[in-house]
Amino acid sequence: MTEKQLYGIFAAKMKAADPSCFCYKIPDTAGLGGKRPFDLVLISGGKPFAIEFKINNGKPTRFQQWSLEKFEIAGGKSLVFAYPRMSMDNFVKKIVRLAYENI
């Protein structure tokens, strides 16, 4: 499973759970210089989420961790999905719950 495949699965499941959500995958920058802060930005229930996908239980780089922390300081919610340890269905349910709690 690749991170690109995880994104496709996530986007499909997220759209099924919340058809009004907005999902934007930040393009890969390999060979172009610059660093990608995390994999995608999601808006669900009017709330912003920064999401990083990791395969084989990898961990975010120091730059990605810093970017995720800055996103939280700015008022968003940051999440890391670690494949295969985590369930995509449970991950999507968690996001929907966070997006629509206290409305």
Strand positions, DSSP E, the chain: 22-25, 40-44, 47-55, 77-83
The C-alpha angle with vertex 37 and arms to 72 and 61, in degrees rounded to 5, equals 95
CB count in 10 Å sphere of residue 48 = 16
Residue 26 has what pLDDT? 86
Q: What is the mean pLDDT of each run of 10 residues along the chain (103 residues)?
A: 88 96 85 76 96 89 93 96 91 95 71
The CATH architecture assigned to 3-27+37-100 reads: 3-Layer(aba) Sandwich (3.40)
Where do the structural domains in the chain lie, given as residue ranges? 3-27+37-100
What is the three-class DSSP state of 36? Answer: coil
Q: 53, 81 in Cβ contact below 8 A?
A: yes
